[in-house]
Amino acid sequence: MRTRPTLSWTATGAPLPRTTDLDEVVETVARGRVVVLSGAGLSTESGIPDYRGAEGSLRRHTPMTYEEFVGSPEGRQRYWARSHLGWRTIARAAPNAGHRAVGALRASGHLSGVITQNVDGLHQAAGVLDAVELHGGLDRVVCLACAATSPREELDRRLRAANPAFEGTASRINPDGDVELAADVVRSFRLVACGACGTGVLKPDVVFFGENVPRARVEECYRLVDAADALLVLGSSLTVMSGLRFVRHAAKVGKRVLIVNRGETRGDSCAAVRVDLPLGQALTDLAGRLGVTCR
C-alpha cells in the first residue's frame, strides 16, 4: 500500500504573528554563528515547486515511498521512467537570488553552516560546498546491493541507451524530480542494474518518504545546531519531523530560532519571529543590510 506523506498538521494555540520586518533577522545574523535550515520554498524561484505551498505538489502528487521502491518492481519502473525526464529539469535549474545570498553570507562568515532539506544541489551550485544534504541529492545514485555510488549523469546515459525510443512528454515537475507521465509510457520503460556489481537495484541517493535519514547525518546536523547561537529557517513549513526536530532542539537548548517563510509553519511555536516575504527578496535585502555582496 502506498503511504500518503504528511500534508498538514493541526496548529494549537495562538498563531505566531507574521511580519515583513527583517530587523530581528538582520541583528541576529550580524552577530554570526547562525545555522540555516532550508526547505523547498527556497528553490521555487528557480522553477522547482515546493511540496506544501499554495501550488504545492502534494495536492496532486504522492511522492515515491521507500516501501514501494524496494518492494515493487513496477514502482521502481514508474519512478525511474518519470524521474528520467524530471531530473533533466532539476539538473538545468540555476541558483536563484536566495541561494546566492545564502552563499555570500556563508562566505562572509555570518553563517556557520547550512542544512538543507532539498535534493536539488542548488546550495552547492551557489558556493556552499559544505551544505549538509539532510535528504541526500538527486545528482547521485546508490546500489541497494553493493552500496556503490555513481553520478546521475552516468545513469542517464545508460538509461538513454536502454530506451532509445523513449519519447515521454513531461509535465508538472515535482520537488523530488518526478513528473506526471502516462501509464502506457511508463510500462515501456526499461531499467538497468548497477554497473559495479551487475545485478543490484539502483536507487537515487535521496531519502524517500518513509525512509530514515542516516544517523551520522542527523548527528552532524545536531552538532551544527549545538555549536551555533541561532537557527534560521528558510522556506520550510517544517511539516515533517526530519527538519522540525532541529528547530525543537534549538529552542529547547536556548538557541534563537527565526523563520522566513511564506505562510505558517509547524515550528512557529519555537520561533522568536516569523518573517513572511519572498525568499529571494528577503535574503538579498538581508545580505545588503549586512554589507555583503551577492554574486
Q: Indicate the annotated binding residues for Zn(2+).
A: 143, 146, 194, 197
pLDDT of residue 30: 98
Residues 6+ apart with CB under 8 A from 19: 273, 274, 275, 276
pLDDT digits (tens, 9 = 90+) for 107-143: 999 999 999 999 999 999 999 999 999 999 999 999 9
Distance CA 50, CA 57 (A): 6
pLDDT for residue 165: 86
Catalytic residues: 135
Average of per-residue pLDDT across 75-79: 94
For 162-185, how does the pLDDT look when each residue is reduced to its tens digit (9 = 90+)?
A: 999 887 655 567 777 777 777 888
Give domain limits for the chain. Answer: 16-48+95-135+212-295, 57-92+138-206
Residues in the chain: 295
Q: What is the 3-state secondary structure (H, E, C) of 88-104?
A: HHHHHCCCCHHHHHHHH
For 144-280, strand residue ranges (E) read 149-151, 202-206, 230-234, 256-260, 273-275
The residue among 241, 235, 213 whose CA lies nearest residue 9 is 241
Q: What is the pLDDT of residues 218-267, one digit of tens each?
A: 999 999 999 999 999 999 999 999 999 999 999 999 999 999 999 899 99
Whether 216 has a pLDDT exceeding 70, the answer reads yes
Q: Which three cell numbers stand for residue 100?
A: 546566492
Residue 53 has pLDDT above 90, yes or no: no
CA 214-215-217 angle, 5° bins: 70
Full-model pTM: 0.91
pLDDT of residue 12: 64
Q: Is 16-48+95-135+212-295 CATH 3.40.50.720?
A: no
Q: Which residues have CB under 8 Å from 18's CB, separation 6+?
A: 264, 274, 275, 276
Q: Residue 56: pLDDT band by 50, 70, 90 thresholds?
A: very low
Binding residues for NAD(+): 39-59, 117-120, 235-237, 261-263, 279
Strand 149-151 and strand 136-143: pairing? antiparallel
